[in-house]
């Protein structure tokens, strides 16, 4: 039986907290998109961890942690995280890597910086876009290539020659040595070499054997390369639609699909955000209370009200069987809570999210208001234990999206969770 967890907004919904909680019962946990642009926060035995590359199954001894074909891997980040987790947890994570997963090499990060994607899109500068671009251009280096390293120098050399053609004047590019990259790479990936495999076959076997599997999404539906707010998106497929392609299993029986959404909205980087609040009208208050600063880059996150129009779009892409509503506690002291029900676009009221930035940018939110509960939800452990107004808020979201709220999170720790109608994975 398989469960998948997806972000329903622009990332940072609390997927790390939710997947860590569910992974307790898992035998296999799979990352299927993105790379170290992800920053998943986990509170494990009272200690806080920021995880970028390894699936959260790593927290539990003996759980297989698979990086599927659709993931891009920064070998240096992977190794550093692996060593750190081994040290802090006292056991070695069982990492398995798809031979088809692409590697992020040092020139990818440099290119992203030189091309100005940080300023234009607000990317995380982790080399994500350039690595996926090399995949599409068929000059990428894949994990499976590490098992036959004889031609690596020649292949990386050919890519570097192309890059030097455009950027050779930059001293950081000029300094890169093919031999140096390959030597450092092979030393860094040493512990993982025996675990690079055709993971599609392994995952199909595990699914057939009825293993308890968890698919851990990164980013969120609105950052999807095709169906997100293009061009202000990441470079991978972030929804259920992309899962089969990434894991290489056409009919994976993913019976539970959990859509994670924050009780309000945040976004990092550029791009339209119809319900954004400026600092004076409450954005700063949400940011401070919700500690909305990036795990990967430390950047302040833009904050605003919940957007049901955008969430309905995410529902279409993921068809969740349940919602995990996180950070409800951050709204504890807000007198009047706003929720966007529709947009006004050039005088017309619309209830769907426009696919182009040209049409999304002028959209103005039409709000419905809810009375706040003005009391703490931090200790609530059942729906009945929530203040009446908080229950009404959760019900309104769940009804509008026509998906039951099966998990409600009221704090970063795993125990600060209300589980309602969710079957163990
Ligand atoms: P992810 O990328 O989706 O895993 O989310 P991040 O880890 O980037 O951001 C979510 C932040 O909210 C982290 O700091 C979590 O520890 C924290 N968090 C998650 N759920 C809750 C919650 O219900 N209440 C509070 N107060 N914090 C939460
Ligand atoms: P998690 O998994 C929030 C955003 C970046 C930028 C855009 C493109 O923690 O939810 P990229 O580096 O991917 O090319 O950047 O996508 N972004 C995220 N925002 N959470 C993330 O991951 C993100 N991963 C990428 O801020 O706007
Ligand atoms: Mg994050």
Which residue of 9, 11, 15, 295 sits with most ligand 2 atoms within 8 Å of its CB, as the best mutation to test the pocket?
11
Alpha carbon nearest to ligand 1 atom 26, residue: 411
Q: Is 194 helix (H, G, I), strand (E, B) or coil?
A: helix
Q: What are phi and psi of 327, to 5 degrees?
A: 60, 30
Whether 218 lines ligand 2, by a CB cut-off of 6 Å, is: yes
| Confidence grade of residue 416 (pLDDT, cut at 50, 70, 90) | very high
Domain 102-194: give its CATH code: 1.10.300.10
Model pLDDT for residues 25-44, shown as the tens digit of each residue? 999 999 999 999 999 999 99
Cβ 103 under 6 angstroms from ligand 2 = no
pLDDT beyond 90 at 97: yes
pLDDT for res 218: 98
Pocket test for ligand 2, best of 228, 234, 270 (most atoms within 8 A of CB): 234
What mean pLDDT do residues 178-207 have?
97
In this predicted structure, what is the pLDDT of residue 168? 87
Ligand nearest to the CA of 16: 1
Buried b (16+ CB within 10 A) or exposed e, 111-120: bbbbeebeee
Q: Is the pLDDT of residue 216 over 80?
A: yes
pLDDT at 46 over 90: yes
Q: Is 39 in the pocket of ligand 1 (CB under 6 A)?
A: yes
- pLDDT of 396 over the 90 cut: yes
Non-local (6+) Cβ contacts of 128 within 8 A are 34, 35, 36, 37, 72, 104, 108, 112, 234, 235, 236
Mean pLDDT (the chain, rounded): 97
What's the rounded Cα separation, in Å, for the pair 53 and 230?
A: 24
pLDDT of residue 151: 94
Residue 131 confidence (pLDDT): 98
Token digits of residue 15: 């997927």
Alpha carbon separation from 110 to 106, 163, 210, 234 (Å, rounded): 7, 10, 43, 17
List pLDDT tens digits, range 266-310. 999 999 999 999 999 999 999 999 999 998 888 999 999 999 999
Helix (H, G, I), strand (E, B) or coil at 57: helix
Active site residue 108: no
Domain boundaries, the chain: 2-99+198-419, 102-194
pLDDT tens readout for residues 52-70: 999 999 999 999 999 999 9
Q: Please report the atom of ligand 1 found closest to the CA of residue 328.
A: 23
Using pLDDT thresholds of 50, 70 and 90, give the confidence band for residue 311: very high
Catalytic residue chosen out of the listed positions 40, 44, 313, 338: 40
Q: Which pLDDT tens digit goes with each residue over 240-258?
A: 999 999 999 998 899 999 9
The enclosing H or E element of 348 equals strand 348-350
- pLDDT band at 422; cut points 50, 70, 90: confident
Q: Tell me: pLDDT of 223 over 80.
A: yes
Structure tokens at 355: 């696919």
Q: How far is the CA of 38 from the centre of ligand 3 (A)?
A: 5
Nearest ligand to residue 41 Cα: 1
Residue-level pLDDT at 167: 94
Question: Edge to edge, what strands does the sheet with 417-419 contain?
Answer: 196-197, 94-98, 64-67, 28-31, 213-216, 2-7, 254-262, 322-326, 405-409, 417-419
% of the chain residues with pLDDT over 90: 96
C-beta 7 within 6 A of ligand 1: yes
pLDDT reported for residue 421? 81
Which ligand 1 atom is nearest residue 294's CA?
8
The pLDDT tens digits of the residues spanning 312-338 come to: 999 999 999 999 999 999 999 999 999
User: Which residue in 340, 323, 339, 335 sits closest to 389, CA to CA?
Assistant: 335
143 alpha carbon – ligand 3 mean position (Å): 25
Predicted pLDDT at 326: 98
**Is-catalytic flag, 12?**
yes
Q: Please report which helix (H) or strand (E) contains residue 340, including its range.
A: strand 336-345
Kind plus residue range of the DSSP H or E element containing 4: strand 2-7
- Identify the pLDDT of residue 306: 98
For domain 2-99+198-419, give the fold.
Adenylosuccinate Synthetase; Chain A, domain 3 (3.90.170)
User: pLDDT-derived band of residue 172, with 50, 70 and 90 as boundaries?
Assistant: very high
Question: Alpha-carbon distance 330 to 182, whole Å?
Answer: 47
Say whether pTM exceeds 0.85.
Answer: yes
Note the pLDDT tens digit of each residue in 99-157.
999 999 999 999 999 999 989 999 999 999 999 999 999 999 999 999 999 999 999 99
């Amino acid at each position: 039986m398989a469960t998948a967890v997806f972000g329903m907004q622009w990332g940072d919904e609390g997927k790390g907290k939710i997947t860590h909680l569910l992974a307790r019962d898992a035998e296999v946990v799979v990352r299927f998109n993105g790379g170290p642009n992800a920053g998943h926060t986990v509170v494990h035995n009272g200690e806080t961890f920021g995880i970028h590359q390894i699936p959260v199954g790593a927290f539990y001894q003996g759980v297989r942690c698979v990086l599927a074909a659709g993931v891009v891997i920064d070998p240096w980040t992977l190794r550093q995280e692996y060593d750190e987790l081994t040290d802090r947890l006292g056991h070695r994570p069982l990492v398995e890597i798809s031979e088809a997963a692409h590697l992020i090499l040092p020139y990818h990060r440099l290119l992203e910086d030189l091309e100005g994607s940080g300023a234009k899109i607000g990317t995380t500068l982790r080399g994500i876009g350039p690595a996926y671009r090399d995949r599409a251009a068929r000059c990428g280096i894949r994990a499976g290539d590490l098992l036959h390293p004889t031609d690596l120098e020649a292949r990386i050399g050919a890519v570097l020659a192309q890059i030097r053609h455009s950027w050779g004047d930059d001293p950081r590019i000029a300094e890169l040595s093919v031999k140096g990259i390959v030597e450092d790479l092979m030393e860094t990936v040493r512990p993982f070499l025996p675990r690079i495999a055709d993971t599609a076959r392994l995952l199909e076997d595990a699914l057939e054997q009825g293993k308890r599997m968890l698919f851990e999404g990164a980013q969120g539906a609105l950052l999807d390369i095709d169906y997100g707010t293009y061009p202000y998106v990441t470079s991978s497929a972030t929804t259920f639609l992309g899962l089969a392609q990434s894991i290489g299993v056409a009919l994976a029986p993913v019976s539970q699909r959990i859509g994670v959404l924050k009780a309000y909205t945040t976004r990092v980087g550029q791009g339209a955000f119809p319900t954004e609040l400026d600092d004076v009208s409450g954005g700063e208050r949400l940011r401070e209370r919700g500690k909305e600063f990036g795990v990967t880059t430390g950047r302040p996150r833009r904050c605003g009200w919940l957007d049901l129009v955008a969430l309905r779009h995410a529902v279409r892409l993921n068809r969740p069987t349940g919602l995990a509503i996180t950070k409800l506690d951050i709204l504890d002291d807000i007198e009047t809570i706003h929720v966007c029900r529709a947009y006004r676009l050039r005088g017309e009221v619309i209830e769907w999210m426009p696919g182009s930035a040209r049409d999304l940018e002028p959209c103005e939110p039409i709000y419905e208001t809810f009375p706040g509960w003005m009391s703490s939800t931090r200790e609530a452990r059942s729906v009945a234990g929530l203040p009446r107004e908080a229950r009404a808020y959760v019900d309104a979201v769940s009804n509008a999206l026509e998906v039951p709220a099966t998990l409600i999170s009221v704090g970063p720790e795993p125990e600060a969770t209300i589980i309602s109608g969710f079957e163990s994975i």
